[in-house]
Structure 1
Amino acid sequence: MPLTPLDIESKRFRRELLGYNRHEVESFLRACADALSQANLEREELQRAREALLRELEEFRSRERTLVEALASAERLAEERKAQAQREAERIMADARRRAEQLLEQTRQEMVRIEQQIIRMKIERETFENRLNALIDEHRRLLEVRRQEAGIVERLRARTTRPPGPSESHD
């Protein structure tokens, strides 16, 4: 039978000639001792359970701190990697822009060189055409002179190979 504080307070012992009934008092004291012993055991068990729960709670808190620190570290690392990737991307873009500008400048210079070469070639062609036309004109003129000379030579031959006629005088 569980003993409560009310049981202890309300317990009344019968009086006998020389005081309380000794057996009832001893029985009640044994019951009180058993109840107190049981209460102490339960209290110790509860204390152990409490301590185990407190240790478990501290372990969970420690794990939580570790997880929070790991998460914070992972976030910092992710931010660092992101910043590093951003810097690398910006460097690559700057290099690409610089290379594109170099290629563009090289292309412009090549275009200027080609345009100058085209102009020189046009001038050379025009000079060549002018010289060729002058040469052709000179050859035509020479051919004309030769034709004229050939005509004169023919007429002279024709005169020298024919017998002199009556109107021609002999010297």
Structure 2
Amino acid sequence: MPLTPLDIHNKEFGRRLRGYDEDDVNEFLDQIIKDYELYIRENKELQSQVASLQERLDHFANIEETLSKTIIVAQEAADEVRNNSKKEAQLIVKEAEKNADRIINESLSKSRKIALEIEELKKQASIYRTRFKTLVEAQLELLGTDQWDSLEVKENQA
């Protein structure tokens, strides 16, 4: 157990013949007591400062740990957002490709249908032309026959 200033003050030394001067010893002990009290006070102040600094250090260590965790969580969130964005972009591209394929297929189908309709109309026009030509030729042939002359004579007689 360490000495206290009171222990030093109350210390009694035995007396011997030709010993030290009692006043010098007491004066020296008084100086030791003052210095010892000063060191004890300084030690308490330093311990208080160490405790305060340790408390601040612990506080900053907690802040650092919290910031580290926050950065990790933010990084993970950013990674998740980036991954989700990539997936969403891929889905959008796939959907656009599907729509483009559908539009192209519909356009090709309509184009084929229109081409078939055009061919059908050409065939019908050709048939109509042939029939009309045949009809006109038949009428011209009919006009060129003698039957018209006989019809004209019958009309004049009537």
**How many residues align structurally?**
141
1:44 is matched with: 44
Tell me which structure has the larger Cα radius of gyration. Answer: 1
Q: Deviations over 1:123-154 (max 9, x none)?
A: 01111111111111111112212xx3344677
1:47 Cα deviation after fit: 1.0
CA distance in 2, matches of 1:23, 1:95: 106
Q: RMSD in angstroms over aligned alpha carbons?
A: 2.3
For residues 91 and 143 of structure 1, the distance between their equivalents in structure 2, rounded to whole angstroms, comes to 76
Structure 1 residues 111, 25: CA separation in 2 closer, same or farther (over 3 Å shift)?
same
Task: Read off the aligned partner of 1:149 and give its amino acid letter.
Answer: Q
User: Aligned equivalents of 2:34 and 2:140: distance in 1?
Assistant: 152
The letter for the 2-side match of 1:53 is L
Instruction: Look up the match of 2:147.
Output: 149
Gaps of 5+ in 1: 1-16, 157-171
CA offset digits 1:64-103 (Å, max 9, x no partner): 1110110010000000000001001101111111111111
Matched, 1:76 2:41: no
Task: Report the counterpart of residue 103 of structure 2 in structure 1.
Answer: 103
Q: What displacement does 1:21 show?
A: 2.1
Aligned mates of 1:96, 1:150 — CA distance in 2: 74
Aligned partner of 1:119 in structure 2 is 119
Larger RCO, structure (CA 8 Å, separation 6 or more): 2
Aligned counterparts of 2:56 and 2:64: Cα–Cα separation in 1: 12
Encode CA deviations 1:1-60: one digit per residue, 9 max, x unaligned: xxxxxxxxxxxxxxxx75322222112111111101111111111111111111111111
- Distance across 2 between alignment mates of 1:22 and 1:40: 26
Query: SS state of the match for residue 144, structure 2?
Result: helix
